[in-house]
Amino acid sequence: MIRLLMILVAAVLIAAGFAWIADRHGELLFTIDNYEVRTSAAAAIILAILFAAFIGFATRVVAAILSAPGALGDWSASRRARRGNEALSRGLVAAAAGDSYEARKQAEKARRLLGAPPLALLLTAQASQLEGDEEGQISAYRAMLDHPDTEFLGLRGLFMQAMRNENIDEAMKLASRAHALKPRALWATNALFDLRSAQRDWTGAKAVLDSAAKAKIMDGGLLRRRRAVLLAAEALDAEGRGDSERALSMALEALSLSPGLAPAAVLAAKKLAAQNRAWRAQDIIEAAWTQSPHPDLATAYAAIKSDEDRLAHAKRMLGLAHLNRDHFESRMLAAEQAVALKQWPEARRVLAPLARGFASTRVCALMAEIEEGEHGDATAAHGWLMRAVKAPRDAEWRCAHCGWSSPRWLAVCGHCGAFDTLAWSAPGPDAVEKISAAPADEGLAGDVNVDLLKEMKPEKPKEAGPQPAHQTRLREQRAAQGHKDEGLIILPRPPDDPGPVDDEFAPGWAKEGEVR
């Protein structure tokens, strides 16, 4: 509707123009030499308009002829760019699909059409990676460093290559450059932190944490934990150099960030006790025990007051155990105190829940001591010691990343170099050596562990009869070894008395400050 209206308006204006020209009266006379040209005013105006239109058309034609080479070049460049972008798209799709031949083909086509654009370099690197061409990857990544848009990507690619080749010095340089280029990039921050901590450059690692905190790219809890571990490592290094003052200062700062960090708590308690600040040392150990009990904490706690009598010592250690009463180490600590006071029933009651199933080496050894001390039963004690030989190992400092174990805590794994991966833990189920068992036979309800055998005099049977096959074999083996035949009873349980009922294993196994 609007277009029709505009056409009508234009037609009216044109008609009005022609009418205006037709109404002009007069005559135009041109004299050239001996020639005269006479025309009316209307014809002169029309001729002038036609001449102006011709001049405009001629100008456009000349301009088009003069600009033809440039326009042809622009068209050709546009066509090459379109074909090059299509090659890049096909190449990236091929690389994602794992088609190295097609990716390489399209990468070469894109470089031929576009030169060396960033995406073509990326496609070349991916194609080289699919083909296992390490030199091609490195060449492409180095070429990326010349383009601001791909410099960071090139640094990442070269860093990964350096790490695969275990070129730590080169990886450090690349990570530092990447971190300086983009401080908010998390991979660069973590890479630089891991490399510096692996080289025990605690100061440099803390500088990376400061940068991460400023950029707000890392969780606050993780920052505190990492800083605490770095401070604990610095404290241990200072202790090794004999700088006690700095060691204590670093350990206390680490504990302010992570009170449950056992190595820092042990070191700080040792230094404070040497300064006659026993109460402060005890507070530190108790705070750490509340969060994560550890045998070293109990040892350090015991050493704070080494001159106290046995009863006072046991009460103080039981008070520590009560701070985390259901933990394995707390029960072990309570049982050890009962054994030290020769309170065998109490020691057995506290330790019995830990002795069920796959008891650890420490539990088996302590049960052997209880059997020997309470009943003087060397046979039962020997059975527990034999069981301890094949029992699951107790907790130790173990790397959660590679499984490497260490006799002492380290901030960095000595095998894989991972930071803060050593945790106080027992081996997994796949590392537990199962106790060998005798095959099921007549008269036995299922498999019976050989280590749970206990010799004792059986009741005299009312009627003599044939012995079961398994007892006959065991009798023959003992006779061959020169043992007197006194009969043999196989017990399908550990060499222990029935112990207390299950209700007595509830968390309230001892009252605070009470020695039984």
Burial letters for 119-156: b for 16+ Cβ neighbours within 10 Å, e otherwise?
bbbbbbbbbbbbeebeebbbebbebbbeeeebbbbbbb
DSSP-derived secondary structure for 314-369: HHHHHHHHHTTTTSHHHHHHHHHHHHHTT-HHHHHHHHHHHHSSS--HHHHHHHHH
> Mind listing the pLDDT tens digit for each residue in 59-78?
888 877 777 676 666 656 67
Residue that wins the pLDDT comparison between 134 and 301:
301
Question: Do 232 and 215 contact (CB within 8 A), yes or no?
Answer: no
pLDDT class for 269, splitting at 50, 70, 90?
Answer: very high
In the predicted structure, residue 99 carries a pLDDT above the cut 80: no
Rounded distance, CA 510 to CA 516, Å?
A: 8
**Predicted local confidence at residue 428, as pLDDT:** 55
pLDDT class for 391, splitting at 50, 70, 90?
Answer: confident
CA distances from 280 to 174, 252, 283, 312 (A): 46, 11, 5, 19
Q: At what angle do helices 2-22 and 41-97 cross, to 10 degrees?
A: 150
In the predicted structure, residue 254 carries a pLDDT above the cut 80: yes
pTM of the entire predicted model: 0.65
- Mean pLDDT, residues 424-432: 61
Q: What angle do CA 86, 89, 90 make, to 5 degrees?
A: 90
Rounded distance, CA 36 to CA 23, Å?
A: 24
Average the pLDDT over each of 6-10, 245-249, 318-322, 441-445 and give the range with the smallest value: 441-445
The mean of the pLDDT values for the chain is 77
Rounded distance, CA 129 to CA 135, Å?
A: 10
**Predicted local confidence at residue 425, as pLDDT:** 85
In the predicted structure, residue 411 carries a pLDDT above the cut 70: yes
Q: Which helix (H) or strand (E) holds 214?
A: helix 202-215
**Predicted local confidence at residue 467, as pLDDT:** 43
In the predicted structure, residue 202 carries a pLDDT above the cut 80: yes
Rounded distance, CA 516 to CA 513, Å?
A: 10
**Where is mean pLDDT largest: 53-57, 149-153, 207-211, 385-389?**
207-211
3-state secondary structure of 211: helix
- Mean pLDDT, residues 413-427: 88
Cα 406 from chain centroid (whole Å): 20
